[in-house]
Chains A and B, each alone.
Chain A
């Protein structure tokens, strides 16, 4: 065991720190606890992002907060961000980011620039060089040791607690000069789905619908139940492909990984790929007309029946 110097890449939108980042900070904390000594720095890359710097500057975990504030970083394009990370990487033993579309898009590019392999979607940190990560849609776990001098890791947010940013010690702020413009990539548009419900990944309750809902209109039953329980809505791939909901609500191996206190799966058969995204939920409820559906094998409470009869009663009762 030796010293570790960890850099956490902060996901933000020039205004606020993304919730997934707070879990990444916890993973960084665990990492230095497993080594003799270590420090954690964070890197903010954006444009006019002083509000983000403000919210991180009392985080007790951090020694330094590196800030790259430049117009070319405004849109968070990985081609630019990777060059910024590349400039500071030689000071660190580990670079961490959340395993969401931000981290997944950015970190492999960083790893290639630095000529090292990386570790994706890590669920546990066992030592400075050994991690646990799911493979085969979560049907197996691999304990992997990296022999690279620099470890580049994306962290599964549901596997770590969220760190509080309300510390007491002021963080040393270091401003980076980075006139970087990776030419050839331009953001044309970005549409965020605004639904007013809790964020799917961090929600305490998730109500998910599948093909069994039959139509986009019927999906309002899921929405109504979610609203009564203060939960988020999720969906199976079948429901997304059928156009019932937008793709950012897909739960599964290739969508979002969630682990809420309560997951209610309605009209979802429970394919391997869907289970990969929700089987670490604390309590799973399955409502399905098919008593042989695979979802019942992981459900704590199962109810066999017609969802169009069950859902209105459930909405009424909660």
Chain B
């Protein structure tokens, strides 16, 4: 079984986000970039499937400008076999991403496509579901457990009230939640080896998918800031404030 994993280059989740003074977006120059944390979990799961003998090959794919090859190399260093870079300077919206991934998934005849449940920059949580819709195949989103049984997968999903388990027929699309696994670190020898692994570059515009966005970000604004509050010295004082000042308890 071949596994395709889609990964995204994003601003480091622990970096402070600065909004451009003209409100056009957030500052990305000289900001630490990294692989989206949910994508790391997807890569880790694919590698584990290979280690357990369920997957024969793990292919990673990323869409964007040339620097996203750094994240593809990171995935190769973690254990992916091969990488595909769909190169474009255009910011691709989720449906466009899903259409591009569909082309690659079909070319590669991937049995399982693994994606993070959301990217921590645009916070959309859409691509996996859209890809499954386009491929007319089963989807299992927010996965916290994945088990492959031949032509089927058993996936435990994190839902609002608790957990649910789905049985889905392959090929299928699965999106990862935080609790699916604990991603490994790349060792130095593996980072060196990753430089020799194949990385194909394909012009995203050549795949027959219109890349032009249908949504326009008119403005990026700072959210309203909370006023710094007061420090209290004791439980009694806290209770007094909550009762008589904030009036949130009786």
Contact = CB atoms under 8 A, between A and B. Distances in A.
Interface string A265-296: 00000001100000100111100000000001
Contact of B215 (A82, A119, A192, A237): A119
A165 interface: no
A284 B163 CA distance: 29
A317 B216 CA distance: 52
B238 interface: yes
A253 B169 contact: no
Contact of A112 (B14, B130, B177): B130
B13 A144 contact: no
A107 B218 CA distance: 23
Interface stretch (A34-42, A66-74, A98-106): A98-106
Interface residues of B, number: 84
Given A136-B120, A141-B222, A300-B229, A254 B11 contact: no
B interface secondary structure, majority: mixed
Interface in B3-22: 11, 13-14, 16-17, 19
Interface of A: 77-79, 82, 100-102, 104-113, 115-121, 130, 134-148, 182-193, 201, 205, 229, 237, 240-241, 246-248, 253-254, 256, 261-262, 272-273, 279, 282-285, 296-304, 310, 313-314, 317-318
Interface of B: 11, 13-14, 16-17, 19, 26, 38, 93-96, 98, 117-118, 120-134, 137-142, 144, 154, 157-169, 172, 177-179, 213-223, 226-236, 238-239, 241-242, 246, 248-249
26 contacts: A108-B94, A108-B125, A108-B133, A112-B133, A119-B215, A135-B123, A136-B11, A140-B17, A141-B223, A142-B219, A143-B218, A185-B169, A205-B249, A237-B178, A248-B158, A248-B160, A254-B178, A262-B246, A262-B248, A272-B14, A284-B229, A297-B228, A303-B238, A317-B236, A317-B239, A318-B249
Top 7 A-B pairs ranked by shortest CB distance? Answer: A112-B133, A108-B129, A300-B229, A184-B169, A112-B130, A108-B126, A109-B133
